[in-house]
Amino acid sequence: MVSDTTFTPHGVVPPLVTPLDDHGDVDRRALERLLAFQLDAGVDGVFVGGSSGEIALLDTAQRRALVEVTAGTVAGAVPVLAGAVDTGTRRVVEHARQAAALGADAVVVTAPFYVAPHPAEVVTHFQHVHAAVDVPVVAYDIPSAVHTRLTPDVIAELAESKTIAALKDSSGDLAAFREVLRRTELPALTGSELLADTALALGAAGLVPGLGNVDPHGYVRLYRAARDGDLAAAKAEQDRLAALFRIVSVAGTTRIGHTAGALGAFKAALAWRGVIDNAATNAPLHPLADDERTTIGRILTIAGLGTVD
């Protein structure tokens, strides 16, 4: 198989959380409401099974339900990107084929992890995935999770050979991001919540912010202002969103880890806004405390966000 490299993601493509029911299964109705909320905001795509979607913790049934419901609900209105993230190539190929069969328009793939691969082995990994699926492959650089960088050299090689169709950059390294933009014509999207306006000014094709779960309208306004050259409006929106992003630091890290605190905050905020019913995360992540959820509600109110009709 040869994947389609004409795929050009752009705009706001939020990496969606995975709503769970009381049994730990994907809450299909809550996911449908989340998708409707995103589409109403005017997003340009949706990304399921990313870091915000707890991809490292999902079982096969959850992954299947996530892509199946998303593709069915979106029904072609915007592209559906699905994460295919695992320790090794064979597992990633398996996940990618499943996602494509369920209707994903592209798969999002990190470097393999646990095995500490050499850059040449990272390139081989992407080549195998590209050859195995008939949808585009988006490279996902998130060294904080996989502990391997997709360097500008690796990205340039993959782009030149058309092995990848786009880059989702969550490295936090704007210098490397700029180098990728200089050396390739690859659509590159930033995962930064706090420097979205800066990345767009550098030439980013779009935004993939986890906070976009909670306030997609804000990121759509930011993107459109930057696209239209209204830098003052983009900066003002970025400043407001930076204040809202404080929700990820509410949970006490003496009790739970950073990931549980951040993803729990996104889900608690969505529950507070009435988009999803349950703020639960997958094991082993622990839930936020009641007082932390109350604090998140106050931050949302200050940011001008209320419940969703």
DSSP symbols for 43-93: -S-EEESSTTTTGGG--HHHHHHHHHHHHHHHTTSS-EEEE---SSHHHHH
Query: Is 219 in the active site?
Result: no
Q: What pLDDT is recorded for position 3?
A: 43
pLDDT at residue 1, rounded to an integer: 43
- Work out how many domains the chain is built from and give that number: 1
Query: What pLDDT does residue 185 have?
Result: 96
Instruction: Walk along the chain (309 residues) in steps of 10 and give the mean pLDDT of each run.
Output: 66 98 97 98 98 97 98 97 98 98 98 96 98 98 96 98 98 97 98 97 98 98 98 97 97 92 98 97 96 97 93
The answer to the question of residue 102 being in a domain is yes
* Neighbour-count burial of 232, counting CB atoms closer than 10 A to its CB (0-12 exposed, 13-18 middle, 19+ buried): exposed
Residue 223 annotated in active site: no
Q: Answer yes or no: is 246 within a domain.
A: no
Strand partners, 207: 12, 190
pLDDT tens digit sequence for 4-53:
446 899 999 999 999 999 999 999 999 999 999 999 999 999 999 999 99
Rounded to two decimals, the pTM is 0.95
Answer whether residue 221 is part of any domain. yes
Note whether residue 79 is domain-resident.
yes
Flag whether 25 is in a domain: yes
Residue 77 within any structural domain of the chain = yes
What's the number of CA atoms in the CB half-sphere (13 Å) around residue 307? 6
Q: Is residue 256 in a domain?
A: no
Whether 274 is covered by a domain: the verdict is no
Supply the pLDDT for residue 253: 83
Task: Tell me which amino acid residue 237 is.
Answer: E
Note down the domain range covering 81.
11-230
What pLDDT, on a 0 to 100 scale, did the predictor assign at position 309? Answer: 78
The pLDDT of residue 170 is 98
Instruction: Tell me which H or E stretch contains 196.
Output: helix 196-202
Chain position carrying tokens 């200089």: 182
- The active-site residue, picked from 114, 140, 223, 267, is 140
CATH number reported for the structural domain that contains residue 152 in this entry: 3.20.20.70
Return d(Cα 39, Cα 297) in angstroms, integer.
Answer: 23
Catalytic residue among 114, 162, 168, 223: 168
